[in-house]
Chain A
Amino acid sequence: MTARIGVVTFPGTLDDRDSQRAVRVAGAEAVPLWHRDKDLKQVDAVVLPGGFSYGDYLRAGAISRFSPVMESVIEQARAGMPVLGICNGFQVLTEAHLLPGAMLRNTALHFVCRDQRLRVESTATDWTADFTPGQEISVPLKNIDGRYTADERTLDELEAEGRVAFRYASGGPARDGYGNPNGSQRDIAGITNAAGNVVGLMPHPEHAVEPLIGTGRTDGLGLFTSVLKKLVSA
């Protein structure tokens, strides 16, 4: 028996097929979920993929957050179901208040697409247990509203509670993917809730799961194998 991992499609979602593929490559069953449908089809975990849901109109993630499927996702997330928000999915999670903070426009004011070096800061989450603390990974990053922002107290809390899951890695040249690509506060690329079941990040691990495709690395697979191991062993 393997785990069933749902992937939500909102209007304007782009990386739903990619996330389904990543789930399959990791060895789990991918279950498409539709934004208008509250039914989560008995999945064991949910991925909110990237894209421009509702065209990012009003504010990225602001409209999707009110879709019927999110009612169930919010409820289940609070009950402990693993939920991963990637890029636009991360934005939806902050709009839904499952994660603190918000994303502003990149400091360069334009879309940035590159291979990004990340440091795994916390392995105490459902989605990062397969990594080692401090491990450096490289996955694609691609967004225009990726600048993580929160008030100082929230940031201090995140740090103190070890809830920064991924940070943009420094220590090398920009051409090798090092450095903060968008002006995110404290180089934060991804965070988790206190329980460790809800994780959001701006870079795209689902684009780094096959050796031939994209960056040619499979560093992103760890997020999906992490949750799969947890679900199968549970």
Chain B
Amino acid sequence: MTLDTVKHAEQTPEVEQPWKELGLKEDEYARVREILGRRPTGAELAMYSVMWSEHCSYKSSKVHLRQFGEKAPRSDAMLVGIGENAGVVDVGEGYAVTFKVESHNHPSYVEPYQGAATGVGGIVRDIIAMGARPVAVVDPLRMGAADHPDTKRVLPGVVAGIGGYGNSLGLPNIGGELVFDACYQGNPLVNAGAVGVMRHEDIHLAKASGAGNKVILYGARTGGDGIGGASILASETFDATKPSKRPAVQVGDPFQEKLLIECTLEAFAEKLVVGIQDLGAAGLSCATSELASNGSGGMRVELDDVPLRDSTLSPEEILMSESQERMCAVVEPDKVERFLAICEKWDVIATVIGEVTDGDRLEIFWHGEMIVDVDPRTVAHEGPVYERPYARPSWQDTLQADDAGRLPRPEGGDELREQVIEVLGSPNLASKAWVTDQYDRFVQGNTVLAQPEDSGMIRVSEESGLGVAIATDGNGRYAKLDPYTGAQLALAEAYRNVAAGGARPLAVSDCLNFGSPEDPDVMWQFVEAVRGLADGCQVLGTPVTGGNVSLYNQTGEAAIHPTPVVAVLGVIDDVARRTPIAFADEGHLLYLLGETREEFGGSAWSQVVHDHLGGLPPAVDLERERLLGEILISASRDGMVDAAHDLSDGGLIAAVTESCLRGGHGARLVVPDGLSAFTFLLSESAGRAIVAVPRSEELRFTDMCGARGLPATRIGVVDGEALEVQGEFTIPLDELRDIHESAIPGLLG
């Protein structure tokens, strides 16, 4: 077979090319030809096809994501914003924190263990590429119905994969979510977040500058795994009639990644690196074109020098391979020797594969012949941009008119007790220990808070106690009812969770999981959610620093609920001042902060008791969220509260239950005037939290709430061995614990 060189491509314009099989549309292929002024070579076609895929190019979402930048609130904390591998935020004392959430949805459905494992691997490399030491991971998961047989295949595999990879890297897993809903049956969502810490001066960016600087590929050898992962797997709807996509999933090796972390950080510490990029989706195609595109010069790469696992790989396959645990660094010539020595110290294979040139082309050679000659910007940044048509779905009004407030409510204390137990024992509200006990939450010795706390919190400085907190939240049911509000509710919940632990929210990352953008209904959901999130961040003063969009979460005609998952990062001056969720001491007074309204649309109660989804989600008042956050942070810092827990799905009863069980103490609750017991316990009004206040602090605390205008209602006391709602029902702690802890093991164990 003739090698398809640039020269050959010029001479054979009429050759049929498999652009369709590689996922390009006809007009996209025509555009490639127009850019090059000839047909692309096979290698160029491979590069364009992966880099112009939905997954890599954000072609459907780009025009909307701009709002995150345009509406971003001014924040002095922002050091690196959208567009880099991950955003970077100043947390004080010279420390900076980088964090990001990403999806690995499609691979995890096809091959749960490896899909989830490599999801962790990819997000961690993004963090290292910024110059930071990874310090924690979180994993928001959404699965099909808990009792569906396929959930038993996917979930244990996903959990084992996340644990198998993350545990072996030595990264504490401190948070995340697990939500079950039939809408995710054919499209489970496996999102992965990571947090990294560095000094300000250590921030690194993905750019190749300085003619003559060497391009070094290091880490694992390149194999045939994951070819087309981004373009074929993550950018198309699943279809039962097509052949298996199993080979498109990558296989991870956490041991190799651990070595990669250590040797990269050591090279950073010795200031050996000019620019760096990890190899994730689209592999070398992405790394070389992005590095060259972001830098000042061009790049020349000798593909023959890439270490291979399989010597029969074609140049196209080498460029497209998504073999894991690889990174690409740009290093000045006189530092190459030292860089290679560090790699050798960590038993990491490192090879110079090219250099930065003073031109503006990315040129790739194979067996001495040029097979790629492109302007790297056209590959990496100037891909197609679509203004996909969108329209409010015809069914949206009917859905919203189906008010959950009209559902039959429990009559009397006994029926209320029954329904409360049903809700607390439902898989979405039950204890997730079966999952989280398979993750190492202790490693690195800086974990201050971890699941089931409201947020995960990590100590950054042993000297000062400076720490960071992260929480991720999302509620597809709310977003289905109203995507704009749903996105803001996700933001508000994550914000509240961070504040409840005592940390000040600083910045946001998001993972936007939706169905096919080619469906105007789905596209409308996406547009609304992005607008809601961007508007919300503006009010809360927390800029979006980066994130990820996952589209085509759809099997046939059925799309998932629109599921924006929002991560909020916060900072706390001294982790000794953190506030846990546990009711640790008898006699502490329970206060409900915020207002409770009759809001049941999308609620856990409507789902569990009535299998209903309709009406409107809870109303959002972001100014109120901000005030609540300030009160929670002040109370935490000044030692006015002993416990705090945000109220979200499952309402007050779910939060009180978790706090009681965590602390091993019961509580006596009194239904406040003007509320029915049912609404008090099960409404999901936003902007609320419960706090446990020592009696000695009561006056100071209520004065503060009064002065700031935050409603604070005394609702009971931490007491005894049962959860009692006066005049309604009592549930002994042991029974409560059994309900809470046995549900998930019963389904999966």
Q: Does B390 contact A (CB under 8 A)?
A: no
Q: Is the CB of A212 within 8 A of B448?
A: yes
Q: Which residues of A contact B446 (CB under 8 A)?
A: 213
Q: Does A15 contact B (CB under 8 A)?
A: yes
Q: Which residues of B contact A15 (CB under 8 A)?
A: 170, 443, 445
Q: Which residues of B contact A210 (CB under 8 A)?
A: 445
**C-alpha spacing A81/B168, complex, angstroms:** 29
Q: Is the CB of B170 within 8 A of A111?
A: no
Q: Which residues of B contact A12 (CB under 8 A)?
A: 168, 255, 258-259
Q: Which residues of B contact A229 (CB under 8 A)?
A: none
**C-alpha spacing A119/B123, complex, angstroms:** 40
Q: Does B437 contact A (CB under 8 A)?
A: yes
Interface residues of B in 433-457 (CB under 8 A from A): 436-448
1/0 per residue, CB under 8 A from B, across A165-196: the answer is: 00000000001000000000000000000000
Q: Is the CB of B442 within 8 A of A142?
A: yes
1/0 per residue, CB under 8 A from B, across A128-152: the answer is: 0000000000001010100000000
Q: Does B104 contact A (CB under 8 A)?
A: no
**C-alpha spacing A202/B231, complex, angstroms:** 44
Considering only CB atoms, which chain A residue lies closest to B347 in the complex? A11
Q: Is the CB of B442 within 8 A of A207?
A: yes
User: Closest CB of chain A to B580's CB: distance in Å?
Assistant: 9
Beyond A111-B164, A212-B576, A213-B445, whether A142 also contacts B253 by CB under 8 A is no
Q: Is the CB of B259 within 8 A of A11?
A: yes
Q: Does B741 contact A (CB under 8 A)?
A: yes
Interface residues of B in 333-378 (CB under 8 A from A): 346-347
1/0 per residue, CB under 8 A from B, across A82-98: the answer is: 00000000000000000
**C-alpha spacing A21/B446, complex, angstroms:** 11
Query: Which among A38-46, A51-59, A71-79, A153-161 touches the partner chain?
Result: A51-59
**C-alpha spacing A210/B462, complex, angstroms:** 11
Which one of B169, B437, B445 lies within 8 Å of A21 (CB-CB)? B445
1/0 per residue, CB under 8 A from B, across A109-134: the answer is: 01111100000000000000000000
Considering only CB atoms, which chain B residue lies closest to A55 in the complex? B255
Q: Is the CB of B445 within 8 A of A214?
A: yes
**C-alpha spacing A52/B256, complex, angstroms:** 11
Q: Does B459 contact A (CB under 8 A)?
A: yes
User: Closest CB of chain A to B87's CB: distance in Å?
Assistant: 26
Q: Is the CB of B438 within 8 A of A213?
A: no
Q: Does B163 contact A (CB under 8 A)?
A: yes
User: Closest CB of chain B to A216's CB: distance in Å?
Assistant: 9
**C-alpha spacing A214/B447, complex, angstroms:** 5
Q: Does B160 contact A (CB under 8 A)?
A: yes
Considering only CB atoms, which chain A residue lies closest to B749 in the complex? A108
**C-alpha spacing A52/B166, complex, angstroms:** 11
Q: Which residues of B contact A204 (CB under 8 A)?
A: 442
Q: Does B694 contact A (CB under 8 A)?
A: no
Q: Does A104 contact B (CB under 8 A)?
A: no
Q: Is the CB of A112 within 8 A of B255?
A: no
Q: Is the CB of B163 within 8 A of A111?
A: yes
Q: Which residues of A contact B445 (CB under 8 A)?
A: 15, 17-18, 21-22, 206-207, 209-210, 213-214
Q: Which residues of B contact A112 (CB under 8 A)?
A: 437-438
Q: Does A14 contact B (CB under 8 A)?
A: yes
Q: Is the CB of B448 within 8 A of A52?
A: no
**C-alpha spacing A225/B448, complex, angstroms:** 23
Which one of B160, B253, B347 lies within 8 Å of A110 (CB-CB)? B160
Considering only CB atoms, which chain A residue lies closest to B160 in the complex? A110
Q: Is the CB of B443 within 8 A of A18?
A: yes
Q: Is the CB of A142 within 8 A of B167?
A: yes
**C-alpha spacing A21/B459, complex, angstroms:** 14
Beyond A14-B258, A206-B445, whether A113 also contacts B440 by CB under 8 A is yes
User: Closest CB of chain A to B727's CB: distance in Å?
Assistant: 31
Considering only CB atoms, which chain B residue lies closest to A204 in the complex? B442
Considering only CB atoms, which chain B residue lies closest to A54 in the complex? B255
**C-alpha spacing A14/B259, complex, angstroms:** 11
Report how many A-B pairs have Cβ atoms within 8 Å. Answer: 90
Q: Is the CB of B259 within 8 A of A111?
A: no
User: Closest CB of chain A to B65's CB: distance in Å?
Assistant: 36
Q: Does B254 contact A (CB under 8 A)?
A: yes
Q: Which residues of B contact A18 (CB under 8 A)?
A: 443-445
Q: Does B737 contact A (CB under 8 A)?
A: yes
Q: Is the CB of A175 within 8 A of B443?
A: no
**C-alpha spacing A51/B444, complex, angstroms:** 11
Q: Does B46 contact A (CB under 8 A)?
A: no
Considering only CB atoms, which chain A residue lies closest to B171 in the complex? A14
**C-alpha spacing A214/B437, complex, angstroms:** 14
**C-alpha spacing A55/B258, complex, angstroms:** 9
Identify the interface centre among A21, A57, A111: most chain B CB within 10 Å of its CB. Answer: A111
Identify the interface centre among B164, B438, B459, B737: most chain A CB within 10 Å of its CB. Answer: B438
Considering only CB atoms, which chain B residue lies closest to A34 in the complex? B345
Considering only CB atoms, which chain B residue lies closest to A52 in the complex? B168
Interface residues of A in 13-55 (CB under 8 A from B): 14-15, 17-18, 21-22, 51-52, 54-55
Considering only CB atoms, which chain B residue lies closest to A139 in the complex? B442
**C-alpha spacing A111/B446, complex, angstroms:** 21
Q: Which residues of A contact B347 (CB under 8 A)?
A: 11
Q: Which residues of A contact B442 (CB under 8 A)?
A: 113, 140, 142, 204, 207, 214-215
Q: Does B116 contact A (CB under 8 A)?
A: no
Q: Is the CB of B255 within 8 A of A110?
A: no
Identify the interface centre among A12, A15, A112: most chain B CB within 10 Å of its CB. Answer: A12
Interface residues of B in 524-576 (CB under 8 A from A): 575-576
Which one of A11, A17, A209, A212 lies within 8 Å of B575 (CB-CB)? A212
**C-alpha spacing A204/B741, complex, angstroms:** 25
User: Closest CB of chain A to B2's CB: distance in Å?
Assistant: 42
**C-alpha spacing A20/B443, complex, angstroms:** 13
Which one of A56, A111, A140, A209 lies within 8 Å of B438 (CB-CB)? A111
Q: Is the CB of A111 within 8 A of B255?
A: no
Which one of B160, B259, B438, B741 lies within 8 Å of A113 (CB-CB)? B438
Q: Which residues of A contact B441 (CB under 8 A)?
A: 113, 214
Q: Is the CB of B437 within 8 A of A114?
A: yes
Beyond A142-B443, A214-B445, whether A55 also contacts B437 by CB under 8 A is no
Considering only CB atoms, which chain A residue lies closest to B159 in the complex? A110
User: Closest CB of chain B to A15's CB: distance in Å?
Assistant: 6
Q: Is the CB of A111 within 8 A of B440?
A: yes
Q: Which residues of B contact A144 (CB under 8 A)?
A: 167
**C-alpha spacing A113/B173, complex, angstroms:** 11
Interface residues of B in 407-453 (CB under 8 A from A): 436-448
**C-alpha spacing A56/B439, complex, angstroms:** 17
**C-alpha spacing A114/B253, complex, angstroms:** 25
**C-alpha spacing A97/B277, complex, angstroms:** 44
**C-alpha spacing A112/B435, complex, angstroms:** 10
Q: Which residues of A contact B167 (CB under 8 A)?
A: 52, 111, 113, 142, 144
**C-alpha spacing A175/B575, complex, angstroms:** 26
Q: Is the CB of A175 within 8 A of B737?
A: yes
**C-alpha spacing A113/B437, complex, angstroms:** 5
**C-alpha spacing A85/B259, complex, angstroms:** 22
1/0 per residue, CB under 8 A from A, across B246-284: the answer is: 000000011110110000000000000000000000000
Q: Is the CB of B163 within 8 A of A110?
A: yes
Interface residues of B in 716-744 (CB under 8 A from A): 737, 741
Give residues in B with beta carbon < 8 Å to A: 160, 163-164, 167-170, 253-256, 258-259, 346-347, 436-448, 459, 462, 575-576, 737, 741
What are 19 A-B interface contacts by the 8 Å CB criterion?
A: A11-B259, A11-B346, A12-B258, A15-B443, A18-B443, A18-B445, A52-B167, A55-B256, A111-B163, A113-B436, A113-B439, A113-B440, A175-B737, A207-B442, A207-B443, A212-B448, A213-B447, A213-B448, A215-B442
Give residues in A with beta carbon < 8 Å to B: 11-12, 14-15, 17-18, 21-22, 51-52, 54-57, 110-114, 140, 142, 144, 175, 204, 206-207, 209-210, 212-215
9 A-B pairs closest in CB distance: A55-B255, A14-B170, A18-B445, A207-B442, A140-B442, A52-B168, A111-B438, A142-B440, A111-B163
List 8 additional contacts besides A52-B255, A111-B160; criterion CB under 8 Å.
A11-B258, A14-B168, A17-B444, A111-B163, A113-B441, A142-B440, A142-B443, A209-B445
